[in-house]
A = this chain, B = another copy of it.
Amino acid sequence: MGVIALTTDFGWGSAYVAQMKGVLLSATPDCRIVDISHSIKPQDVQETALLLRGTAFSLPLGTVHLVVVDPGVGTDRRAIAIKAKGMFFVGPDNGVLGDIAALEGAEVVHLNKPEFFREPLSTTFHGRDIFAPVAAELAAGLELTDVGTVVTDPHPGLLGTPSRNDTTFIGQVLGPDSFGNLMTNLPGNSIDQTKPISLNDMDIPWVQTYAEAQKGELVVLLGSDGFAEIAVRDGSALEKLGPSVVGAGIECPMVESAHVD
């Protein structure tokens, strides 16, 4: 029984989600559907990539991630599928899957075999007509190379990697979670967590748990996904710092043995 995990910007309660589930359940009646999110902001490819960072490898091995945030539907952007670390990913080649495709050992194929597509193929809804049918085939046991042709030039990832000099990482605020905690691209295990980080000319201290912070205090801690995260005890860092903080740079001292791939 394969797991198929859905990440879209269709909105909870959208007919489009039901139509994709209809395709999945008709093709593989025993598949297990997990709704990861349907509330990605419309066409927000970076938010999608960031959500996938936290969910891609959380579900059981062999899960097929069906990712449909697709502003370029109907253009010549490619449809792709990826196998990485035992998981499958199906979606548009517009960057939402770029960080996955860049993982060591990842294989990428171009979905160019119309025999797997739904007939008639619409120009506005490849989620239903291309991605869902292919996801069902992968969940049912087809190999990655059965459904497309290998490509080596997928769209680059969107989450960036911190730059560095001898002693310092310079990373970025990527976006908020639902509590207003700010996620970053700074890998916690490479950062010296005894020294404050620097964001917009503020020095922000590290804590191990929310409980160490004062109510309302801005702190940085190791998020549950292994990256540094900026938070406010019993509050929202996003609200405290304002939406313009997304994209801001962060400086922090690295541990001596750190290396960034």
Distance in Å: Cβ of A92 to nearest Cβ of chain B: 13
Interface size class of A (residues with CB under 8 A): 35 or more
**A225-257 near B? 1/0 per residue, CB < 8 Å:** 100000000100000000000000000000000
**CB nearest neighbor in B for A40:** B13
Indicate if the CB atoms of B42 and A179 lie closer than 8 Å: yes
Indicate if the CB atoms of B60 and A211 lie closer than 8 Å: no
Q: Tell me which residues across on chain B come within 8 A of A40, comparing CB atoms.
A: 13
Is A194 engaged at the interface, CB distance under 8 Å to the other chain? no
Bound Cα distance from A131 to B40, whole angstroms: 27
Indicate if the CB atoms of B11 and A178 lie closer than 8 Å: yes
Is A36 engaged at the interface, CB distance under 8 Å to the other chain? yes
Q: Tell me which residues across on chain B come within 8 A of A5, comparing CB atoms.
A: 18
Indicate if the CB atoms of A234 and B71 lie closer than 8 Å: yes
Indicate if the CB atoms of B124 and A178 lie closer than 8 Å: no
Indicate if the CB atoms of B73 and A210 lie closer than 8 Å: yes
Bound Cα distance from A241 to B19, whole angstroms: 27
Q: Tell me which residues across on chain B come within 8 A of A58, comparing CB atoms.
A: 15, 18-19, 21-22
Is A39 engaged at the interface, CB distance under 8 Å to the other chain? yes
